[in-house]
Amino acid sequence: AQKITQTQPGMFVQEKEAVTLDCTYDTSDPSYGLFWYKQPSSGEMIFLIYQGSYDQQNATEGRYSLNFQKARKSANLVISASQLGDSAMYFCAIGNAGGTSYGKLTFGQGTILTVHP
């Protein structure tokens, strides 16, 4: 079974500063993917960034980067230069690329990020 743990129920950051959202995971599968999604109050899950378990370099997508530490089983999301529009719920998720769990995502409990002006 796969598990995601997000230990920060809420985080606050000043506009234009960087913030790190924590995520640890547990899986026995050698091949997996880690995802971060943003969920505004409207409810839609917006894909932010993906990291494959065999990727050598940390993933980056614009202001988002994923700090992947495989030995520690952590996949923290770093948002640089925070904007007011970044205020939302953020979910970390893990999924498999194959096998019986193909395409199934397991989500954490989420972290509410609030950006202050």
- List interacting residues with another protein (CB under 8 A): 4, 33, 35, 37, 42-47, 50, 91, 93, 95-98, 100-110
CB of 31 to another protein, least distance (A): 11
Residue showing tokens 């529009």: 85
CB of 87 to another protein, least distance (A): 17
Closest alpha carbon to 41 in 8, 90, 107:
90
Query: What distance in Å separates the CA atoms of residue 117 and residue 99, rounded to the nearest whole number?
Result: 46
Which one, 66 or 93, has the nearer CB to another protein? 93
Which one, 10 or 18, has the nearer CB to another protein? 10
Contact 34, 51 (CB under 8 A): yes
Which one, 44 or 71, has the nearer CB to another protein? 44
CB of 106 to another protein, least distance (A): 7
Query: What distance in Å separates the CA atoms of residue 34 and residue 107, rounded to the nearest whole number?
Result: 10
Residue showing tokens 């920060």: 8
CB of 67 to another protein, least distance (A): 19
